[in-house]
Homo-oligomer: A and B are copies of this chain.
Amino acid sequence: MYSIGDLSRRTGVKVPTIRYYEQMGLLQAPERTQGNQRRYGKSGLARLGFIRHARDLGFSIEAISALIGLQDHPDHSCEPATSLARTQLEDVRSRIRRLQSLEVELTRIAEGCQGDGRSSDCYVLDSLASHEFCTSDHKGGAGL
């Protein structure tokens, strides 16, 4: 039996975050001691490991909920799981593309000025004030 702190040390997930996952329904409410403290078994540890890994891969809590639902009904097709993974992959790829275009512009901006002038003619500030020098289109909000 593991305490919440044991689980935290073994998975690297912080204690309040574990409680939060329970509240969100990702983690089943475990047994309690007489003094009302949580006690987890192997399956709690495994599930938290699953959640941790999926979060590291950028899956949302909602998506993880869906994946857990699939685990709990192993008689169903796993097509939805694969589909979630593909969606996630597409998302990651589009973030990479957007970030790479930001990288290009930021490099141009950061290297344009050596930081030795006055800010009245600073290249960084000028570049931010106008979009016209941008070589690529990086618009669309930086929800990266």
Contacts and interface: CB of A to CB of B under 8 A. Distances in A.
Interface of A: 12, 46, 49-50, 53-58, 67, 70-71, 73-79, 81-86, 88-89, 92-93, 95-96, 99-100, 102-103, 105-107, 109-110, 113-122, 124-125, 128-131, 138-142, 144
7 contacts: A46-B129, A57-B128, A67-B125, A71-B129, A76-B119, A77-B119, A78-B125
A78 B138 contact: no
A65 to B, nearest CB: 13
Contact of A78 (B85, B100, B124): B124
A125 B86 CA distance: 13
Contacts of A113: 78, 81-82
Contacts of A55: 141-142
A93 B103 contact: yes
B75 A120 contact: yes
A63 B3 CA distance: 41
Top 4 A-B pairs ranked by shortest CB distance? A78-B122, A74-B120, A82-B115, A78-B119
A131 to B, nearest CB: 6
Contacts of A86: 110
B81 A49 contact: no
A12 B56 contact: no
A71 B125 contact: yes
A103 B57 CA distance: 9
